[in-house]
């Protein structure tokens, strides 16, 4: 659906049949995480790329909702051990890149205008985490978080630059890695995966990967991570309590912990964090090296509120499984 940003009125909507396959993975995800979709849509070059949980990729004209092209990734590419699609597509040049999974097609780039396969590469098995573009010593790299490793590839052709192991139970590497200007890449998983920090440097055309630390105490389940100076701010916890936590990016040592928020997604803007926790509470806070100063908080959504918020200026767009809404945050002194 496309909604009028100022009023919430529907501009257009597109519906299609999307039956969920009958298998234990889909049965579990449908009852615990909801029937999807799990991937955020991508807006690029006036087109909307929307990926459904069953591997159906629809590309629509963003203004009108008219179909441009569509693909059934499962039927056409037949990824082995398919577990539902959750990674969001990412644009690079004229292409849109998706982790698909399988020998020689761990990553697939599609021409954004036609849907034709531009290139396929690598043997990664797909995981729920979304790819992210970073700059390592002036070279653009696409970071891919697969079921058993994190890797950097050439976003133009899929060539492998580097690869580093990071396995967790069930291959559920969900949270997208976060990159800092200090050259440190931080990745984290729930279950038994834990967290690690990698320093990436590039010299003589080669990327070197140095593991700075690993610990199994910090476990980011499905929320995002935010870099704040020398810290990485996360919600740490999987099946037990989840605490809002700041960790030193270079050493892995915990700097502070805030216990009053549940597992959260967050947006950092203007020196402040806008936080949405899974129970439906939103908070506006200022992080520091020593703690989190919460200015305001209120309950606006229902659990499970697992969709990341979107901030445009001072307007915040939110949704849970029943509602979508826009809130005006206003000026903050």
Does the structure show a pLDDT above 90 at 21? no
How sure is the predictor about 33, in pLDDT bands with cuts at 50, 70 and 90?
confident
Q: Are 81 and 88 in contact (CB under 8 A)?
A: no
Q: What is the mean pLDDT of residues 289-303?
A: 94
Identify the pLDDT of residue 330: 83
Percentage of the chain lying above the pLDDT 90 cut: 82
Alpha-carbon Rg for the chain in angstroms: 20
| Residue 36, pLDDT score | 80
The percentage of residues in the chain with a pLDDT greater than 70, rounded to a whole number, is: 99
Task: Report residue 332's pLDDT band, with 50, 70 and 90 as the boundaries.
Answer: low
Task: Categorize the per-residue pLDDT at 34 as very low, low, confident or very high, splitting at 50, 70 and 90.
Answer: confident
Mean pLDDT, the chain, integer: 93
Separation in Å, CA 196 to CA 49, 64, 110, 119, 211: 32, 44, 31, 31, 7
Q: How many CA atoms lie within 13 A of 40 on its CB side?
A: 15
DSSP reduced 3-state for 318: strand
pLDDT band, very low/low/confident/very high, at 22 (cuts 50, 70, 90): confident
What is residue 3's predicted lDDT score, i.e. its pLDDT? 96
Q: Which of 77-86, 143-152, 255-264 has the highest mean pLDDT?
A: 143-152
**Per-residue pLDDT band at 333 (split at 50, 70, 90):** low
Q: Which of 100, 12, 121, 106 is nearest to 56 (CA)?
A: 100
Residue 220: pLDDT above 90? yes
Q: Round to whole Å and give the CA distance between 310 and 292.
A: 21
Classify 19 in phi/psi space as left (phi over 0), alpha (psi -120 to 50) or beta. beta
pTM of this prediction? 0.94
Task: Flag whether pLDDT at 242 surpasses 90.
Answer: no
The predicted pLDDT at position 42 comes to: 97
Which band of pLDDT confidence, cut at 50, 70 and 90, is reported for residue 80? confident
Interstrand relation of 310-312 and 315-319 (parallel, antiparallel or unpaired): antiparallel
């Amino acid at each position: 659906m496309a909604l009028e940003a100022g009023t919430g009125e529907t501009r257009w909507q597109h519906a299609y049949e999307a039956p969920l396959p009958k298998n234990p993975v889909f049965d579990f995800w449908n009852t615990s995480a909801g029937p999807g979709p799990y991937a955020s849509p991508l807006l690029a070059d006036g087109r909307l790329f929307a990926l459904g949980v069953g591997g159906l990729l629809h590309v629509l004209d963003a203004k009108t909702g008219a179909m441009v092209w569509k693909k059934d990734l499962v039927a056409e590419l037949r990824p082995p051990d398919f577990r539902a699609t959750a990674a969001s597509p990412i644009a690079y040049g004229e292409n849109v890149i998706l982790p698909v999974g399988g020998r020689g097609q761990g990553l697939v780039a599609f021409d954004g205008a036609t849907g034709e396969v531009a290139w396929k590469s690598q043997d990664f098995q797909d995981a729920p985490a979304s790819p992210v573009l970073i700059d390592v010593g002036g070279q653009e790299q696409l970071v891919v978080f697969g079921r058993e490793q994190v890797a950097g590839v050439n976003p133009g052709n899929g060539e492998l630059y580097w690869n580093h192991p990071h396995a967790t139970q069930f291959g559920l590497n969900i949270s997208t890695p976060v990159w800092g200007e200090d050259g440190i890449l931080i990745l984290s998983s729930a279950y038994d995966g834990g967290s690690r920090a990698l320093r990436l440097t590039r010299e003589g055309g080669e990327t070197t990967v140095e593991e700075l630390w690993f610990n199994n105490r910090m476990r980011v389940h499905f929320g995002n991570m935010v870099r704040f100076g020398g810290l990485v701010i996360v919600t740490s916890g999987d099946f037990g309590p989840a605490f809002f936590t700041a960790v030193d990016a270079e050493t892995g040592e915990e700097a502070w912990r805030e216990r009053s928020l549940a597992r959260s997604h967050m947006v950092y803007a203007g020196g402040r964090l806008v936080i949405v926790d899974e129970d439906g509470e939103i908070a506006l806070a200022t992080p520091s090296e020593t703690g989190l100063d919460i200015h305001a908080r209120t309950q606006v959504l229902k659990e499970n509120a697992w969709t990341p918020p979107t901030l445009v200026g001072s307007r915040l767009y939110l949704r849970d499984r029943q509602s979508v809404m826009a809130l005006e945050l206003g000026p903050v002194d």
